[in-house]
A and B are shown apart, each in its own frame.
Chain A
């Protein structure tokens, strides 16, 4: 058994996959270096140094075989942070190299492929919910700020959505769990990685003066648009699971 350790980036993972083929490794496992705890002291460790040209070659081969949408699916598996994600991605790429003509991602009867389809479904759902449940709050400096804490690392998947939508206001979305975010300053829309967690003490005191009023209006609207005679909390919670309530102005 050979253990490949990579730096935790998608390019790093693709470099590792490249090297599996390059060195003709048979029995391998791939791990994010930061999450790896060595258990078997006799295991052979192979340190992967991320190389963009190797990652590129894997990508272009994949694009021929499974298309851009296929690559996108593998990226979603990667962003799911599923403990098995590296193994599944390696399996899919191996299958795709073996059967270059077919889109192997449609072979739902294969266990690894089915897992990919399931993980993609979960990640897509979370991505979609983040486009829905993000709540911006207007700050004194005019920036619309939102904090999120999603189960999967979906920020790269929602960037374009918000970029297309809000072009005439400055905004920020910050992932509390992963300590990074996206920032739009009326010109550029880029990721930012603060050295320390953002200090959100006395957060509400930094609100724009009209913010509290619109929050109240929204809360009243939410209450009034409900039909009491049709109350159905089970359905409500099915649509808005409790773990999202912390994002929602109407739920606070």
Chain B
């Protein structure tokens, strides 16, 4: 093994892969076989965090950053004058296994620039996964990037060896995609996704009848959208996400605030701030849709197409729907308790358990972990609640913002503080 050359390649190909957001290793169900290496747990493990605060769970690299496409937002685009490199299949396998053995990672996230054409590239990605599974007896997590336009046969093989597959939608709107990635089209992205989706539902049917059906993309599919490279609004983004959750059974949609790295007249200028707060609000909305029972239409509507940057989306919903409040902690059902600003899934569950034993008051709520500074205005306690009088106050919103400043406010601002 030539470690110096390997190190050089790793530096180039990790650097080029870093803008891909997905790094989660969750949803894996692959158990270790006797005497083999690796085991995947449903919740996944973040093994470390980069200095930008993002989790590192998988070895996330490109197989190569050679690319025939010239997408404006991508550092690996063909017209960009950068160092190029390509791993051999053996090198990726060796890095994965040796990092895994030292407990640095949960597995591999392998993406690639497109060299030659879709199938040649996809075939190479599949070969890495196949070698890991069949020759190295590796049962850790493998996430492969599906290449738009890849054939059904290759997608079939990919799904047999990988845990998760993903295709990045990149730009939320078709017009935006046309502008920034004229050589790509939505149809080429959709068709491998559709193939995997059908395969997964077929697998689930067969699983009910036969015991030993080989796993087929057990951790499902995900995608990512870049936010802020074109002028789409948050409503459009949430609608796209909702569409893919509903019609493609996606496990996750990731949002990536555009980091301006390239000079191009079609793109925001290099001095534009990364829209971190907006990205954060989109993730909060995503959580509301996946875990809190909110519909996309409830989070935003055509009259207000952007998420409120001052307050979180749940609080924002509550302010628009004051008629739903106050909610009685002792009698309301779980679904409504989840809708109280400042109460999360875990606290809501604790409330439903604890109220069987005694009547809850505001002190209990604090101890159970609710953000009482927000929640207190929306709850009716059996003993009464003096904060309820603010519900009808015209300046309620101001009061709320004054009383609870977002913990992200300073963190996500790139403005330097003087002292």
A interface vs B, CB < 8 Å?
102, 106-110, 114, 117, 128, 131-138, 144, 146, 161, 164-169, 210, 213-214, 216-218, 220-222, 224-236, 238-240, 248-250
Q: Which residues of A contact B38 (CB under 8 A)?
A: 165
Question: How far apart sit A221 and B49, CA to CA, in the bound complex (Å)?
Answer: 12
Question: How far apart sit A230 and B260, CA to CA, in the bound complex (Å)?
Answer: 11
17 A-B residue contacts at CB 8 Å?
A: A106-B354, A107-B353, A133-B48, A135-B104, A136-B101, A164-B39, A216-B3, A217-B3, A217-B6, A217-B95, A220-B14, A221-B59, A226-B50, A226-B51, A226-B52, A227-B19, A227-B52
B367 at the interface (CB under 8 A from A): yes
Q: Which residues of A contact B137 (CB under 8 A)?
A: 168
Question: How far apart sit A112 and B208, CA to CA, in the bound complex (Å)?
Answer: 45
Interface flags, B284-305, vs A, CB<8A=1, else 0: 0000000000000000000000
The chain B residue sitting closest to A213, CB to CB, is: B3
Q: Which residues of A contact B367 (CB under 8 A)?
A: 108-109, 114
Partner of A136, one of B15, B103, B358: B103
Beyond A109-B364, A225-B15, list 8 extra A-B contacts (CB 8 Å).
A108-B350, A109-B360, A135-B102, A214-B99, A217-B3, A220-B7, A221-B10, A232-B53
B17 at the interface (CB under 8 A from A): yes
Contact B259 A236 (CB under 8 A): no
Contact B103 A164 (CB under 8 A): no
A-B residue pairs, 10 tightest by C-beta: A235-B53, A230-B52, A239-B49, A226-B50, A106-B353, A232-B53, A224-B14, A108-B354, A107-B357, A164-B39
B35 at the interface (CB under 8 A from A): yes
B47 at the interface (CB under 8 A from A): yes
Contact B52 A236 (CB under 8 A): yes
Q: Which residues of A contact B34 (CB under 8 A)?
A: 167
Partner of B36, one of A128, A167, A233: A167
Question: How far apart sit A132 and B367, CA to CA, in the bound complex (Å)?
Answer: 29
Q: Which residues of B contact A210 (CB under 8 A)?
A: 1
Question: How far apart sit A238 and B48, CA to CA, in the bound complex (Å)?
Answer: 12
Contact A102 B3 (CB under 8 A): no
With A165-B38, A168-B36, A229-B259 as contacts: A132 and B99 at CB distance below 8 Å: no
Partner of A217, one of B10, B53, B354, B358: B10
Q: Which residues of B contact A248 (CB under 8 A)?
A: 48
Question: How far apart sit A235 and B411, CA to CA, in the bound complex (Å)?
Answer: 8
Question: How far apart sit A167 and B31, CA to CA, in the bound complex (Å)?
Answer: 12
The chain B residue sitting closest to A110, CB to CB, is: B357
The chain B residue sitting closest to A233, CB to CB, is: B51
Contact B39 A165 (CB under 8 A): yes
Q: How far is the CB of B255 from the nearest CB of chain A, in Å?
A: 13
Contact B14 A249 (CB under 8 A): no
Question: How far apart sit A240 and B60, CA to CA, in the bound complex (Å)?
Answer: 20
Q: Which residues of A contact B47 (CB under 8 A)?
A: 132-133
Contact B19 A165 (CB under 8 A): no
Contact A230 B103 (CB under 8 A): no
Contact B101 A166 (CB under 8 A): yes
Contact A137 B102 (CB under 8 A): yes
Q: Which residues of A contact B257 (CB under 8 A)?
A: 230
Question: How far apart sit A153 and B288, CA to CA, in the bound complex (Å)?
Answer: 37
Q: Which residues of B contact A236 (CB under 8 A)?
A: 49-53
Contact B6 A239 (CB under 8 A): no
B388 at the interface (CB under 8 A from A): no
Q: Which residues of A contact B52 (CB under 8 A)?
A: 226-228, 230-232, 235-236
Q: Which residues of B contact A235 (CB under 8 A)?
A: 49, 52-53, 411
Contact A146 B3 (CB under 8 A): no
Question: How far apart sit A63 and B72, CA to CA, in the bound complex (Å)?
Answer: 62
Contact B353 A169 (CB under 8 A): no
Q: Which residues of B contact A107 (CB under 8 A)?
A: 353-354, 357-358
B219 at the interface (CB under 8 A from A): no
Question: How far apart sit A195 and B171, CA to CA, in the bound complex (Å)?
Answer: 62
Q: How far is the CB of B76 from the nearest CB of chain A, in Å?
A: 14
B362 at the interface (CB under 8 A from A): no
B373 at the interface (CB under 8 A from A): no
Q: Which residues of B contact A135 (CB under 8 A)?
A: 102-104
Contact B32 A225 (CB under 8 A): no
Q: Which residues of B contact A216 (CB under 8 A)?
A: 3, 7
- Max count, chain B CB within 10 A of own CB: residue among A110, A169, A224: A224
Q: Which residues of B contact A134 (CB under 8 A)?
A: 103
Q: Which residues of B contact A109 (CB under 8 A)?
A: 354, 357-358, 360, 364, 367
The chain A residue sitting closest to B139, CB to CB, is: A165
Q: Which residues of A contact B260 (CB under 8 A)?
A: 229
Question: How far apart sit A230 and B259, CA to CA, in the bound complex (Å)?
Answer: 8
B68 at the interface (CB under 8 A from A): no
Contacts of B1-31 to chain A: CB distance below 8 A: 1, 3, 6-7, 10-11, 14-15, 17-19, 31
Q: How far is the CB of A219 from the nearest CB of chain B, in Å?
A: 10
Contacts of B93-113 to chain A: CB distance below 8 A: 95, 98-99, 101-104
